[in-house]
Every structure is written in C-alpha cells, then in structure tokens.
C-alpha cells in the first residue's frame, strides 16, 4: 500500500467494488467495514456518561462532574476546556472525571447531548 491516496485510486476502488455492497458511512466494501463493530463496541466500553452536581467535601462549593466519557486524557482535557469556557467557570480533569466549578448540570448535559454523547443526569 502506498502512503498517498489519490482521488484516482479512490474512484478505481469504488468502481472495482461495483455490484458489491458499500458502507454508506465509511464508503468501504462491507467486508472491510468496521462501523457496525465500532457502534457495537462503543456503548459497552463507555457505559453511560453521567453528569452530576456535588458539593460534599468541597467547603460548600458546588461543582459539576462528568463521569464515564470514553475519551483519552488529552481529549478529556480538550473537552473540559470547552465546557469551562462554555460555562464561564474554572475546573479540572482528574482521574477521567471532568470537573466544572459551579452548578452547570443543565448546560453541560445539553452541550454533551448536542455533541452526540449519550449523557444523562445522575444524582440530585
Ligand atoms: Zn462502514
């Protein structure tokens, strides 16, 4: 396999699979398609994403916590940054949990859902 992918090669590929079934999502022949496997694997690996509000043990300060995001640390950091700027608050990412200072459960939940995450509210 060559590292470059030219449009000509791509169209030849499409032509060569004429009559075969193509995945509309990744545009590979169904034999090479991993979309279904990814869809099946994601929820099992991820579990539900839970957004909760907590104030215990924080000196009375309320924080919004997002647990169960199926993301690597760098992606969590990026998401945490977006959430913090969205909420106009500070916060951290710690042990896979995104923390935003203040009570922003509704806003965080709405944003996660808009991003395509299957998030739900947890706790009070
Ligand atoms: Zn596919």
Q: Are residues 72 and 98 in the same domain?
A: yes
The Å distance, Cα 40 to ligand 1 centre, comes to 12
CA distance 88 to 35: 36
Summarize pLDDT for 30-85 with one digit per residue, the tens.
888 888 776 655 544 456 899 999 987 778 899 999 999 988 889 999 999 999 99
The Å distance, Cα 78 to ligand 1 centre, comes to 27
pTM over 0.85: no
Q: Are residues 26 and 54 in the same domain?
A: no
Full residue range of the structural domain in which residue 26 is found: 7-33
The Å distance, Cα 6 to ligand 1 centre, comes to 20
Q: Identify whether 51 is part of a domain.
A: yes
Q: Identify whether 100 is part of a domain.
A: yes
Q: Identify whether 113 is part of a domain.
A: yes
C-alpha distances out from residue 105 to 39, 59, 111, 112, Å: 27, 19, 10, 10
Q: Identify whether 2 is part of a domain.
A: no
Q: Identify whether 59 is part of a domain.
A: yes
Instruction: Using a CB cutoff of 5 Å, list residues around ligand 1, an ion.
Output: 23, 25-26, 33, 35
Domain of 85: which CATH number? Answer: 3.30.780.10
The total number of structural domains in the chain stands at 2
């Amino acid at each position: 396999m060559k590292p470059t992918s030219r449009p000509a090669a791509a169209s030849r590929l499409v032509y060569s699979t004429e009559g075969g079934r193509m995945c509309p999502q990744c545009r590979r022949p169904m034999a090479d398609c991993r979309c279904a496997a990814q869809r099946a694997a994601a929820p099992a690996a991820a579990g539900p994403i839970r957004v909760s509000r907590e104030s215990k043990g924080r000196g009375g300060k309320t924080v919004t916590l997002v647990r169960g995001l199926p993301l690597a640390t760098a992606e969590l950091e990026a998401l945490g940054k977006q959430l913090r700027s969205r909420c106009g608050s500070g916060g951290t990412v710690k042990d896979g949990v995104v923390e935003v200072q203040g009570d922003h459960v509704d806003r965080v939940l709405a944003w996660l859902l808009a991003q395509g995450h299957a998030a739900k509210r947890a706790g009070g």
